[in-house]
Amino acid sequence: MTTTDAAAAADAHTAAADAHTPAASPVPAPLDGAKLKADFPLLTREINGQPIVYLDSAATSQKPHSVIAAMSDYYDRYNANVHRSAYFIAEQATTQTELARQKVRRFIGAAHTEEIIFTKNATEALNLVVNSWGRTNLANGDAVLLSLLEHHSNIVPWHILSAERNLELRWIPVGDDFQLDLSNLDELLEGVKVVAISAMSNVLGTLPPVSAIAEAAHERGAVVVCDACQFVPNRVCDVASLGADFVAFSGHKMCGPTGIGVLWGRRELLEEMPPFLGGGEMILDVSTEGFLPNTLPWKFEAGTPPIAEMVGLGAAVDYLSGVGMEAIAAYEEDLVAYAQKTLKDKFGDDIAIHGPADGPRGGSISFAYRDIHPHDVSQILDQYGVCVRAGHHCAKPLMKHLGAQATARASLYLYNTREDIDCLAEALSKASEIF
């Protein structure tokens, strides 16, 4: 089966699914986090004799039975390479991976399947943009605008290119309210060729106004690159409404496996970009004189892809779609509000929460507790089965702005409950006794 045939088969399968998909309810049904927890096998474990309380989903989410089963089914029943052979299980593998691409397209509201590029993670997706689009379109002295909220994956590739091209890197600051300070956005955008912006901070939970920033950037002819790693798993994502030209996210943060990421890009931009990697699959022809690259999306998917991971990501999209992204967002908003109130009521001025105090925000709650080092806080919480991250969260420019070397971070997801937050608060109180 050719890549085109497989894509056509997946298109037909998805069109049939679209026809039988009921319209989304305008009011999301209440979500039962305790019930959903049963779908995730790891969450039945005990740590140090305590039921596990997993509060690190901003780093990686847990995986439901359905995702694990889908990947196991691939290995058990149709393990073969894709886009290369005509025998039955190879055709089945090809169809399933292209079906996963269709599922992702629908999930993020993309208009064209060929705009969905599979990568090994969001970091590779962002590097693809910088190394293909950036090297083609940016020259010495060109300006790039980033925000202080960015993860290193949306900073370091620009630094690398800047070292070669002498780019001017500008920064959107963060205000005392933990929101982006856009008061001088017009000045910052003057002469800018590209804007790199996060849709949700992995440290603060801040939700920048990406669509408004993108609109202002486009008025000046700039291209917008969006890191949506935290946004896509937790909010309804429609790339047309988001307004960016490129959007990157990872499977492992949205109940899918590690080793799989996605780059969505506007088709006209992707078509103009040169390949990022060379090898098998990304070519139509090769001779001793040169090569002809493949069409989208395979032009950017050199070599054997992460087949089981693509299948697993498709299953994760099915799972999240079944729960409902509107319901997930509403549930997390309530959970975050409960967590902030619980921690402030219990610990008062002993705890400092870095992030918006109210209004829409993501589920990452970064905090400092008294003068106890975040790594010590994390180790104490672990003794009570509570899993949080401690560190700079791959956001050192932001941490410097906050005046912190590190923070502890509890990040919430659809399988967390108010009881988990109560366990966090109770375990955190033990840190006072120890220190």
Total H helices, total E strands in the chain: 16, 17
| CB neighbour list of residue 255: distance below 8 Å, 6 or more residues apart | 61, 62, 63, 64, 67, 233, 316, 319, 320
* Tokens encoding 59: 């780093």
**Cross-strand pairs, 351:** 369
Strands 291-293 and 283-286: antiparallel
Identity of the amino acid at 339: A
| CB neighbour list of residue 66: distance below 8 Å, 6 or more residues apart | 39, 315, 318, 319
Identity of the amino acid at 118: F
Between CA 234 and CA 408 the distance in angstroms is 21
* Tokens encoding 286: 């090769």
Between CA 297 and CA 113 the distance in angstroms is 8
**Taking a C-beta distance cutoff of 8 angstroms, is the pair 225, 246 a contact?**
yes
Closest by Cα among 144, 204, 137 to 168: 144
SS3 340: helix
Closest by Cα among 131, 153, 156, 141 to 273: 131
**Taking a C-beta distance cutoff of 8 angstroms, is the pair 411, 58 a contact?**
yes
HSE-CB for 259 with a 13 A CA cutoff: 11
* Residues designated as active site: 394
**Taking a C-beta distance cutoff of 8 angstroms, is the pair 93, 78 a contact?**
yes
Q: Which residue has the tokens 């026809």?
A: 19
**Taking a C-beta distance cutoff of 8 angstroms, is the pair 105, 238 a contact?**
no
* Tokens encoding 293: 């690259």
- In Å, how far from its chain's centre is CA 105? 15
**Taking a C-beta distance cutoff of 8 angstroms, is the pair 261, 250 a contact?**
yes
**Taking a C-beta distance cutoff of 8 angstroms, is the pair 74, 97 a contact?**
no
